[in-house]
């Protein structure tokens, strides 16, 4: 009896519990998962490898991104927080699968899992549609195995913001001396848009309107000055835009210059004697012998040939003052 008990005791002492499986691990193939990776728009490889000796019980994803908001994600069937073993609905399951994520039975109980989201990650930059903002986009992955052991890693991505810029909208109104500029300042701030005629020293200020999403519109218009005594208004020739001129423009943020560019306005149409510096005179019927002056229709000091002089005489004969003189002569005859 004693011998039997001793044997049982020896057997009991020699029995060992089954070893606990190693906890799950998450890694990026060919990349350091602890580092931040730049999304440049060029092709990139983002392949996730998961190992769970006890089998995967749950696999959660949590997205933190200024662009991938809940509103945007819901529009494509996703959410900021998702469970790959049991997506919230069929639409989410289909959306995840289309982007390269495994779902449902492909995840539950798996001891090794690899999935490629190389086509999904570059889409983040494309969603900015060329107006990138300096931003971080993180995907927190949490895997729990059947032994309730957990692994958590974050896929960290970064997008560099677009550089500040300012461009002319090619919309000058040379009759009103107006035009507009568009500035892009991704980080915003105290934005000012200025311009000046090439060669001038003083910058003129455009009227700035915040167009949203990092864009600003600068309206250029002339300023008018008045002499209170005479009541005469005059345009400040350094403001506004004029035909056939080259201009410099710039954007400042908090007084610091961040972007510059130049533009030229069209030559415009020249109006003959538009400044009315050349005049002709008329002496004839109805002028009482005195000269009557009126703006000429040809440039000053332009020599005319004999046929042109004949045409000029004909034009003078048709001038309203000439015809008025003829009528007066007929009435008094």
Per-residue confidence (pLDDT) for residue 287, from 0 to 100: 56
Domain assignment present for residue 63? The answer is yes
pLDDT, tens only, 62-107: 999 999 999 999 999 999 999 999 999 999 999 999 999 999 999 9
Q: Both 106 and 40 in a single domain?
A: yes
Nearest by Cα to 58 from 10, 24, 92: 24
Q: Both 134 and 189 in a single domain?
A: no
Per-residue confidence (pLDDT) for residue 272, from 0 to 100: 74
- Answer whether residue 286 shows pLDDT above 50: yes
- Mean pLDDT over the full length of the chain: 83
Task: Read off the tokens for 122.
Answer: 């570059």
Q: Which long-range contacts does 238-244 make (Cβ < 8 Å, 24+ apart)?
A: 238/196, 238/197, 238/200, 238/202, 238/204, 239/204, 240/177, 240/178, 241/172, 241/174, 241/177, 241/178, 241/179, 241/265, 242/174, 242/177, 243/174, 243/267, 243/268, 244/268
Q: Considering 136, 159, 182, which residue would you say is the last residue of a domain?
A: 159
- H-type alpha helices, the chain: 2-14, 70-75, 90-98, 123-127, 306-317, 320-332
- Residue 268: which region, alpha, beta or left (left: phi > 0; alpha: psi -120 to 50)? left
Per-residue confidence (pLDDT) for residue 325, from 0 to 100: 45
Q: Both 170 and 298 in a single domain?
A: no
- Answer whether residue 32 shows pLDDT above 70: yes
pLDDT, tens only, 160-218: 887 899 999 999 999 999 999 999 998 788 999 999 999 999 999 999 999 988 899 99
Per-residue confidence (pLDDT) for residue 304, from 0 to 100: 44
Please state the domain count of the chain: 3
pLDDT, tens only, 289-323: 566 666 665 544 444 444 444 444 444 444 454 44
Q: Both 152 and 180 in a single domain?
A: no
Q: Considering 129, 159, 189, which residue would you say is the last residue of a domain?
A: 159
CA distance 35 to 53: 26
Q: What is the pTM of this model?
A: 0.58
pLDDT, tens only, 15-28: 566 788 899 999 99
The domain in which residue 153 lies consists of 21-159
Per-residue confidence (pLDDT) for residue 132, from 0 to 100: 76
Domain assignment present for residue 12? The answer is no
Residues 36, 42 contacting (CB under 8 angstroms): no
Q: Both 205 and 182 in a single domain?
A: yes
Q: Both 184 and 257 in a single domain?
A: yes
Paired with 135 in beta bridges are 159
Domain assignment present for residue 270? The answer is no
Domain assignment present for residue 253? The answer is yes
Nearest by Cα to 242 from 198, 296, 286, 297: 198
């Amino acid at each position: 009896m004693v011998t039997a008990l001793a044997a049982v005791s020896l057997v009991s002492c020699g029995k060992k519990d089954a070893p606990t499986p190693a906890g799950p691990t998450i890694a990026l193939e060919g990349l350091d998962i602890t580092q931040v990776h730049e999304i440049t728009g060029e092709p990139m490889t983002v392949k996730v490898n998961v190992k769970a000796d006890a089998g995967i019980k749950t696999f959660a994803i949590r997205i933190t991104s200024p662009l991938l908001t809940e509103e945007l994600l819901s529009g494509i069937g996703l959410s900021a927080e998702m469970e790959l073993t049991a997506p919230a609905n069929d639409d989410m399951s289909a959306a995840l699968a289309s982007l390269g994520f495994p779902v449902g039975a492909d995840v539950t109980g798996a001891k090794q899992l690899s999935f490629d989201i190389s086509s999904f990650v570059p889409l983040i930059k494309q969603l900015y549609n060329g107006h990138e903002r300096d931003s971080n986009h993180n995907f927190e992955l949490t895997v729990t195995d059947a032994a309730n052991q957990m692994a958590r890693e974050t896929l960290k991505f970064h997008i560099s913001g677009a550089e500040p810029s300012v461009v002319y909208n090619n919309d000058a109104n040379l009759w009103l001396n107006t035009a507009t500029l568009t500035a892009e300042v991704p980080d915003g701030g105290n934005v000012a848009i200025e311009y000046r005629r090439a060669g001038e020293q003083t910058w003129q200020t455009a009227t700035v309107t915040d167009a949203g999403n990092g864009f600003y519109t600068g309206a250029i218009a002339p300023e008018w000055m008045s002499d209170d005594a005479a009541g005469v208004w005059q345009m400040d020739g350094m403001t506004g835009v004029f035909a056939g001129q080259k201009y410099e423009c710039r954007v400042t943020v908090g007084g610091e210059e961040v972007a510059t560019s130049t533009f030229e306005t069209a030559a415009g149409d020249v109006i003959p004697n538009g400044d009315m510096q050349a005049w002709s005179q008329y002496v004839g019927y109805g002028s009482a012998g005195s000269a009557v002056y009126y703006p000429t229709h040809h440039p000053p000091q332009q020599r005319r040939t004999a046929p042109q002089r004949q045409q000029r005489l004909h034009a003078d004969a048709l001038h309203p003052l000439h015809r008025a003189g003829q009528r007066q002569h007929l009435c008094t005859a």
